[in-house]
């Protein structure tokens, strides 16, 4: 009897040791996106793209033969929650890298943790220029576009469609502040003669836009510049329509409200006269490899009309994989050296991380949101890719 027990114990021990060895071999990614609350709309598809990329790596046999494990945490669009989860991922789960973040405030918080813990952080969605300017440090990289690039594209669009008097409405936090500042700075060059006649700041989470709509309607502007993203735009659009807001002004907006997540769900409710942006559009093959990516995503989502935020999660992992393979290691210093100047063929085109600023040259698709005969929702048509500078 003792013998049997001993055998069982020995087998169990061997199994445990074996799995432990395997565990230590795996490369661990800590991924943070909002999965509940108001940010889930964007965080859930971003994580889907992330997971898709990780599965593809493992199907190819991992990175240098090591499997990749991804440990996800819900950041809840709260900087404090994101930071605490990131610390837990680093200290308890011993992840090799942090990827993700949604809002600019989250991005700044995650970047701070990365700096203190000396772990590389790849920001896939946060756009504030602060992360790569005054708050820059060597552990932070950004594959998202930045607010300056987005603001310049907004200013250019405003100039092209001939807006002269602009009401600006932006969120009262890092993203809104930086986008507003970038827009004002780019205006003289991109839209000479255009001026800002009203500058509105809105608290994030505001659901009632009527007081602001009334101010825009009472002003003499012929265009609105905005960065109200996601559900916030739906609030503004639904409340603005009966006031005739979208008959009075041309609406130029960052915040990817040209993405199919918005247009596909709003359908006939999507207002007229909107020019906006998106990182990806399922109906637009900018580069040949987009088709392959879209086919895979469509299978995963079970629809051809796929989510545009998935590509951001996907690209973050692509960069990590390429860097780890290039470095042959995943420790902080080796990863940093490998990421600097790294070029990756993403589903939306080639991207290179600037060795000096640690930012990818990520541009976005821009265009008017147009009604079509073919679909019950609006699509961006014509689509123009506006690159970063």
* Least distance to other proteins, CB of residue 257, Å: 11
List, as own/partner pairs, every contact residues 51-55 make where C-beta atoms lie below 8 angstroms and the sequence separation is at least 24, other chains included: 51/313, 52/296, 52/297, 52/300, 52/310, 52/313, 52/314, 53/313, 53/314, 53/316, 53/317, 53/318, 53/321, 54/29, 54/317
* Least distance to other proteins, CB of residue 44, Å: 4
* Least distance to other proteins, CB of residue 379, Å: 17
Identify the residue whose tokens are 């809105």: 202
Choosing from 19, 24, 116, 210, the residue that interacts with other proteins (CB under 8 A) is 210
Choosing from 239, 273, 357, 384, the residue that interacts with other proteins (CB under 8 A) is 239
Residue 182 or 240 having the CB closest to other proteins? 240
Q: Give the dihedral sign, CA 211/217/221/226.
A: positive
Which helix (H) or strand (E) element contains residue 223?
strand 223-226
Site membership for other proteins, residue 266 (CB under 8 A): yes
Size of the site for other proteins (CB under 8 A): 43
Q: Give the dihedral sign, CA 88/93/97/98.
A: negative
Residue 159 or 176 having the CB closest to other proteins? 176
Choosing from 90, 113, 174, 262, the residue that interacts with other proteins (CB under 8 A) is 262
First to last CA, the chain: 75
Are the CB atoms for 198 and 215 separated by under 8 Å?
A: yes
Choosing from 192, 242, 288, 302, the residue that interacts with other proteins (CB under 8 A) is 242
Site membership for other proteins, residue 238 (CB under 8 A): yes
Site membership for other proteins, residue 301 (CB under 8 A): no
Choosing from 7, 19, 215, 303, the residue that interacts with other proteins (CB under 8 A) is 215
Choosing from 18, 244, 328, 355, the residue that interacts with other proteins (CB under 8 A) is 244
Give the residues across from 170 on adjacent strands. 201
Site membership for other proteins, residue 232 (CB under 8 A): yes
The residues in 25-54 that bind other proteins, with binding defined as CB under 8 A, are 35-41, 43-45
Q: Where are the alpha helices (DSSP H) in 254-357?
A: 260-266, 289-301, 310-327, 332-339
The piece of 188-196, 240-248, 273-281, 283-291 that touches other proteins (CB under 8 A) is 240-248
Residue 138 or 241 having the CB closest to other proteins? 241
Residue 63 or 200 having the CB closest to other proteins? 200
Residue 236 or 330 having the CB closest to other proteins? 236
Site membership for other proteins, residue 333 (CB under 8 A): no
Site membership for other proteins, residue 208 (CB under 8 A): yes
310-327 and 40-59 helices, crossing angle to 10°: 40
Q: Specify the 3-state DSSP secondary structure of 257.
A: coil
Neighbouring C-beta atoms of residue 14, cutoff 10 Å: 10
Choosing from 231, 329, 334, 383, the residue that interacts with other proteins (CB under 8 A) is 231
Identify the residue whose tokens are 């009966």: 242
Site membership for other proteins, residue 327 (CB under 8 A): no
Choosing from 21, 203, 374, 376, the residue that interacts with other proteins (CB under 8 A) is 203
The two three-digit tokens of residue 212, written as one number: 């602001």
Site membership for other proteins, residue 376 (CB under 8 A): no
Residue 149 or 276 having the CB closest to other proteins? 276
Whole-number CA gyration radius for the chain: 23
CA atoms within 13 A on the CB side of 190: 22
Phi first, then psi: give them for residue 224, nearest 5 degrees: -120, 135
Residue 191 or 245 having the CB closest to other proteins? 245
Q: Which of 214, 222, 228 is nearest to 247 (CA)?
A: 222
Binding site for other proteins (CB under 8 A): 35-41, 43-45, 200-201, 203, 205-208, 210-212, 214-215, 217-218, 230-235, 237-239, 241-244, 261-262, 265-266, 268-269
């Amino acid at each position: 009897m003792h013998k049997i027990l001993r055998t069982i114990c020995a087998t169990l021990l061997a199994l445990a040791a074996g799995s432990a060895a395997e565990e230590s071999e795996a490369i661990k990614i800590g991924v943070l996106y909002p999965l509940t609350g108001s940010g889930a709309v964007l965080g859930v598809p971003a994580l889907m793209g992330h997971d898709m990329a990780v599965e593809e790596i493992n199907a190819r046999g991992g990175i240098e033969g090591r499997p990749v494990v991804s440990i996800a945490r819900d950041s809840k669009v709260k900087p404090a929650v994101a930071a605490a989860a990131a610390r837990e991922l680093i200290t308890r789960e011993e992840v090799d890298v942090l990827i993700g973040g949604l809002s600019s405030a989250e991005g700044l918080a995650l970047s701070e943790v990365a700096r203190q813990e000396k772990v590389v952080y790849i920001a896939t969605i946060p756009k504030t220029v602060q992360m790569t300017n005054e708050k820059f440090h060597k552990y932070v990289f950004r594959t998202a576009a930045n607010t300056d690039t987005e603001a310049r594209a907004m200013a250019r669009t405003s100039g092209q469609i001939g807006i002269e008097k602009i009401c600006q409405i932006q969120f009262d936090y890092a993203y809104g502040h930086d986008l507003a500042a970038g827009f004002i700075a780019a205006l003289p060059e991109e839209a000479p003669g255009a001026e800002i006649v009203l500058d509105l700041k809105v608290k994030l989470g505001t659901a009632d836009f009527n007081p602001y709509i009334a101010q825009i309607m009472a002003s003499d502007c012929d265009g609105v510049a905005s960065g109200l993203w996601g559900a916030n735009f739906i609030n503004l659009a639904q409340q603005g329509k009966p006031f005739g807001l979208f008959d009075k002004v041309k609406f130029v907006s960052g915040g990817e409200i040209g993405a199919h997540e918005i247009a596909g769900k709003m359908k006939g409710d999507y207002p007229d006269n909107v020019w906006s942006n998106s990182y990806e559009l399922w109906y637009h093959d900018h580069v040949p490899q987009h088709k392959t990516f879209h086919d895979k995503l469509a299978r995963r989502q079970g629809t051809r009309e796929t989510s545009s935020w998935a590509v951001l999660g996907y690209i973050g992992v692509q960069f990590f994989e390429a860097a780890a393979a290039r470095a042959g290691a995943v420790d902080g210093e080796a990863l940093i050296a490998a990421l600097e100047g790294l070029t990756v063929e993403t589903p939306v085109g080639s991207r290179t991380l600037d060795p000096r600023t640690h930012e990818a040259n990520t541009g976005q698709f821009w265009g008017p949101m147009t009604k079509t005969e073919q679909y019950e929702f609006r699509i961006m048509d014509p689509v123009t890719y506006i690159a970063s500078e």
